[in-house]
Amino acid sequence: MQSRSERNAPEGAPQHPVVAIDGPSASGKSTVAKALAQVLGIAYCNSGLVYRAITWSLVRKGLELDRESAFKTAVRQMKIECRIDENELHVQVDGKEPGEEVRSPAVNAAVSRVAASSWLRERLLPVFRRLAEDRSLVMEGRDIGTAVFPATRFKFYVDADPKIREQRRQNQGETDSIEERDWEDRSREAAPLRRAADAVLLDSSEMTVEEVVRRMLDELRKRGFPVPEGASVP
């Protein structure tokens, strides 16, 4: 196979078609990203899971996140493995999958700080990009359309009214503050949450999951994504 430089592909140009879905917490992007991947019959990757798994490991070790050199040493020593199995991303740190613990209050409280590290984000770029080397996928996060796969033509930014997002978060049984998380994700220096200029903005406040996915399918067809024949939303 030709290397990227041989093909002169721009940085962040995936080898297979990638749908990038970004947006703030509880905007509904995970639900629609999963549903869209299923309709398209391709893999679904939640990039936040990688930040959460790393945070989970650091929290278990009792590491003080403000100590930069200890943070870097701990991350350097971690064995972070990402694999796609049955069209879904699985993350192991040092041979262990954190499971439900990635959503624990301790991880919720620390993950934005971990994700704010430009050093860590730089290290994770090739990890995320590698996932698209063998297959097409839907990847959701905060910077997928702006930093991870800026060259993909298939980008969405899913948002919703903050009050509705707060309600959705509570319905998920989580107690972290949307406002605080938004501020941290938007104001950080490294790859802050923002809509890519060429991303389609979808406000899911008053839309059902099916409506959002239908809009996405229409847009993907228009932009030339290889949507399988007969793909439709029930």
Q: 91 to each of 61, 96, 200, 214, how far by Cα in Å?
A: 18, 8, 29, 30
Residue 185 as a binder of ligand DC (CB under 6 A): the answer is yes
Smallest gap from Cβ 23 to ligand DC, in A, equals 9
Phi/psi for 141 (5° steps) reads 175, -145
Question: If you count them, how many residues does the chain have?
Answer: 234
Rounded to whole angstroms, how far apart are CA atoms 140 and 48? 8
Residue 182 as a binder of ligand DC (CB under 6 A): the answer is no
Smallest gap from Cβ 117 to ligand DC, in A, equals 10
Question: What are the structure tokens assigned to 131, written together?
Answer: 């996932």
Residue 204 as a binder of ligand DC (CB under 6 A): the answer is no
Edge to edge, what strands does the sheet with 80-85 contain? 80-85, 88-93, 43-46, 137-141, 18-22, 154-159, 200-203
Cα-Cα end-to-end distance for the chain: 38
Query: Which of positions 6-45 make contact with ligand DC (CB under 6 A)?
Result: 25
Smallest gap from Cβ 221 to ligand DC, in A, equals 26
Smallest gap from Cβ 31 to ligand DC, in A, equals 12
**Interface residue with ligand DC, options 19, 42, 43, 47 (CB under 6 A):** 47
- Convert residues 139-158 into a mask of x (bound to ligand DC by CB under 6 A) and - (unbound): --xxxx--------------
Interface residues with ligand DC (CB under 6 A) are 25, 47-48, 51-52, 111-112, 115, 141-144, 181, 185
